[in-house]
């Protein structure tokens, strides 16, 4: 398949994915913005005014990076898992698999669609956050690279979940029982320095904690002890998930009747 044809295939998949969630923006873009706005009001203003500071910065500024990250990763994940499973459930994915489109283009197309929704929600949440506090980014390169890698990582994770899911109930198991607990225990609303030493060690096993910490450091310049390790680990694990996704497409397991 020629380069121009591959580009046409990739752009077609990405446009389809973007139109898919933008047509129903009331269901895909608006709810997370409203939810995060409530978090800003409740945790940032009401509770934050009583907490005061966290790790030397105001509590509102502390929670903003975590809430942005939470909105990006959840929407990146949910967009890909729902879109690809729907294509698999309706058997339309088989038409794409038998076409000359390379597997890497298929994977990149779906992941790019998930990233587009996740990053779009992240931008909207950031805009809402500006009504509550001032945001001055400490390091633009680090902030942008971390948020893009995180969005890609969870888009790939959503893709793998969609491949292995057999029913619509299966695509909600991972977000409900794994993703949501790890996110809320990932230092979004609190610093792990408040925890006893044992639980601080346990929290270090949570990958979302390191993603949030690295993103918070990129935005605020605070809590950057493990930024290098978080960045390298995110690149490595994203590469692993990408390889797994390509293998699943190549094997056709759970994709073809």
Please report whether residue 256 resides in a domain.
Answer: no
* pLDDT tens digits for range 161-213: 999 998 888 898 888 899 989 988 888 888 888 888 888 888 888 899 999 99
Residue 74 domain boundaries: 3-251
How far is residue 224's CA from residue 221's CA, in Å, rounded to a whole number? Answer: 7
Please report whether residue 159 resides in a domain.
Answer: yes
pLDDT reported for residue 196:
87
How far is residue 63's CA from residue 65's CA, in Å, rounded to a whole number? Answer: 6
Cβ(216)–Cβ(64) under 8 Å?
no
Q: What is the mean pLDDT of the chain?
A: 90
pTM metric for this prediction: 0.93
Please report whether residue 243 resides in a domain.
Answer: yes
pLDDT reported for residue 257:
53
Please report whether residue 212 resides in a domain.
Answer: yes
How many domains are there within the chain?
Answer: 1
Backbone φ, ψ for residue 53 (5° rounding): -120, 160
* pLDDT tens digits for range 140-172: 999 999 999 999 999 999 999 999 998 888 898
pLDDT reported for residue 256:
67
Kindly state the tokens that stand for 161: 């979940």
Mark the ranges of the chain whose per-residue pLDDT is less than 70.
224, 256-257
pLDDT reported for residue 74:
95
With CA atoms as reference, report the closest residue to 187 among 161, 220, 145, 159.
Answer: 220
How far is residue 154's CA from residue 73's CA, in Å, rounded to a whole number? Answer: 6
């Amino acid at each position: 398949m020629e380069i121009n044809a591959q580009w046409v295939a990739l752009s077609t998949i990405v446009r389809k994915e973007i139109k898919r969630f933008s047509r129903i923006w009331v269901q895909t873009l608006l709810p997370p913005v409203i939810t995060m706005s409530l978090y800003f009001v409740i945790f940032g203003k009401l509770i934050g005014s009583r907490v005061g500071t966290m790790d030397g910065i105001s509590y509102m500024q502390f929670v903003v990076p975590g809430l942005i990250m939470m909105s990006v990763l959840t929407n990146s994940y949910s967009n890909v898992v729902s879109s690809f499973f729907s294509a698999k459930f309706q058997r339309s994915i088989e038409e794409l698999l038998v076409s000359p489109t390379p597997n890497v283009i298929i994977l990149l197309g779906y992941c790019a669609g998930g990233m587009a929704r996740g990053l779009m929600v992240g931008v909207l949440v950031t805009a809402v956050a500006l009504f509550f506090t001032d945001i001055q980014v400490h390091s633009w390169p680090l902030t942008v690279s971390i948020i893009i890698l995180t969005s890609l990582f969870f888009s790939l994770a959503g893709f793998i979940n969609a491949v292995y899911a057999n029913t619509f109930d299966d695509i909600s198991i991972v977000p409900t029982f794994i993703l949501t607990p790890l996110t809320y225990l990932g230092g979004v609303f609190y610093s792990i320095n408040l925890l006893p030493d044992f639980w601080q060690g346990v929290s270090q096993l949570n990958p979302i904690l390191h993603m949030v910490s690295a993103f918070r450091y990129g935005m605020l310049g605070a809590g950057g002890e493990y930024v290098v390790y978080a960045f390298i680990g995110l690149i490595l694990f994203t590469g692993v998930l990408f390889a797994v996704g390509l293998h699943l497409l190549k094997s056709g397991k759970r994709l073809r009747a």
